[in-house]
Amino acid sequence: MSMTLKEKLFAAGKPTFEEVFVPGMDEPVKVWPMTALEQDRFDAGTFDVGEDGKAKFKHEHYRARLFIASVRDADGVPVFGPNDLRAVSDMSAALLNRVCDAARRINVMGADRVEASAKN
């Protein structure tokens, strides 16, 4: 029996992680895609509405928030939580950039998507 379109879409939407190798670590960091709800929540914390009514990108802690949202163990359990924000923000930008580059790629978070989110 063949799968319905709905079944195919649910099967295609199963998250899989990407491994990122970080110098000085003996195992790769597992970077997972966010669910649609997780990404909506992430986006909501990424923009403020200015006095002019336009969305303003919040740069502070952006990499740390993306890192926290994306780094999970092999079972998909988050390694970090909101209480780790300050400590993660104090980590090496080079390390965060390696992981965040992968997170943006697997979550399809290019400049076009960020601009579209800012408009909504």
Q: What is the pLDDT of residues 7-48, one digit of tens each?
A: 998 888 778 899 999 999 999 999 999 999 999 999 999 988
Q: Are 21 and 102 in contact (CB under 8 A)?
A: no
pLDDT above 90 for 115: no
CB 112: neighbour CB atoms within 10 A? 9
Element (H, E) at 18: strand 18-20
Domains along the chain? 29-119 (3.30.2220)
Q: What is the pLDDT of residues 64-114, one digit of tens each?
A: 999 999 999 999 999 999 999 999 999 999 999 999 999 999 999 975 555
Model pLDDT, residue 60: 93
**Can you give the pTM of this predicted structure?**
0.83
